[in-house]
A = this chain, B = another copy of it.
Amino acid sequence: MKKRITIKDIARELNVHHSTVSRALRNDPCVNEKTRDQVLAYAREHDYQTNMNAVQLRGTRNNAIALIVPNINHTFFSDIVSQLTNMAYQKGYVISVFQTNEKYQLEKEIVNTIIQHNFAGVIVSKAKDTIDKQHFMTMNKFGIPLVFFDRICDDMQTPRVIINNFEITSEATELLIKKGYRNIAHLTGTTTNNVFRDRQRGYEFAIEKYKMDYRQSVVIEDDFSVEVGKTVLTALMELPQKPDAIISSSVHITIGIMLEARKNNIRIPEDLGLITFGSLLSSEIIVPQITYIDQPETEIAQLSFDLLEKMMSHEIQIGELVEKTVHAKIILKESC
């Protein structure tokens, strides 16, 4: 393993001072053209790479942006990752993605790593059960620009992009009611999380508004998975009053429900109406096609990136609360 080549190595080899080499490498105009070309040629030849640790040690920020997401096997997140990767690349940044696997501990660890390495900025959607916001606050202290999207810390003063979960869930519930469904259940995640809490409220709101008798919220603490979806439907159908429609917070859950329904000859949409958050690559091919709530990933990515850029250019200050809300849409299909 060879030692990596440094500006001093180049300087020694070319009989100039290493500061001259430094200037040459950064195309400083006040360096002799001939010297510069020599340096550049030598550098290219020997695969010189700036040691960013040295550069950053001097205080300059780097070109890496960190993106923290709960998981990337949800289309919602993987889409946003793709979009952000492209946007950032065009502006000369590189996106580095960290997956928390919904684990608070790992999230903390990741935040530490990010602080230690002086990332230029961070975009976060927090883990499902993260309540304590201390680690995020620490980023603030270190002056690292931070933008939340979707899963946010409500009580933190920092820019964020959220989805109109309250309105859209209320709207979805209303839609089901108007379609004639009477026993509408709502499957969602822990309400310590803003997303699930807002959806919960939206559901409750519509149920109240139309004075429905039936009200059934299932809070799923486990990770959302197809298996859990199956279990939940089974459980629901064993209740004295069965649901005739379901709003699900996760496609994984929804698929489990559909499979279990099929197995038990529960017809969709006749016996059971279904609306789900999020879509699938294979949405079009599933029969019946599921009515889903489409979350505008591109817009979310764009807004988050804009906010982060504004923080990095100090147009928005750290500790300043800017909130952008994007609007999800119900895409009506066959399942209700």
Contacts and interface: CB of A to CB of B under 8 A. Distances in A.
Interface in A66-102: 71-73, 75, 78-79, 81-82, 85-86, 89, 94-99, 101
Nearest to A96: B96
A226 interface: yes
Among A98, A117, A280, which residue has the most Cβ atoms of chain B within 10 A?
A117
Contacts of A272: none
Interface string A246-277: 00000110010011001000000000000000
A30 interface: no
Determine how many copies of this chain the complex contains. Answer: 2
A143 B4 CA distance: 8
Contacts of A19: none
Given A4-B143, A51-B57, A96 B94 contact: no
A99 B85 contact: yes
A2 interface: yes
B85 A142 contact: no
A286 interface: yes
Contacts of A138: 47, 49
Given A4-B143, A50-B116, A285-B259, A89 B73 contact: no
Contact of A96 (B98, B118, B262, B280): B98
A49 B116 contact: yes
Nearest to A64: B113
A98 B286 CA distance: 32
Contacts of A142: 2, 4, 47, 49
5 contacts: A2-B143, A72-B81, A255-B284, A259-B285, A282-B282
A255 B285 contact: yes
Contacts of A116: 49-52
Nearest to A100: B85
Given A78-B78, A113-B63, A255-B282, A54 B52 contact: no
Interface stretch (A104-112, A168-176, A195-203, A325-333): A104-112
Contacts of A310: none
User: What 7 pairs between A and B have smallest CB-CB spacing?
Assistant: A1-B143, A52-B116, A97-B97, A73-B78, A53-B53, A53-B56, A53-B57
Given A82-B72, A286-B282, A286-B285, A113 B94 contact: yes
Given A49-B116, A56-B53, A99 B106 contact: no
Given A53-B57, A57-B57, A101 B72 contact: no
Interface in A229-243: none
A112 B96 CA distance: 13
Given A72-B82, A109-B94, A54 B51 contact: no
Interface in A288-308: none
A127 B143 CA distance: 35
A99 B280 CA distance: 21
Contacts of A106: 85, 89
A24 interface: no
A252 B79 CA distance: 15
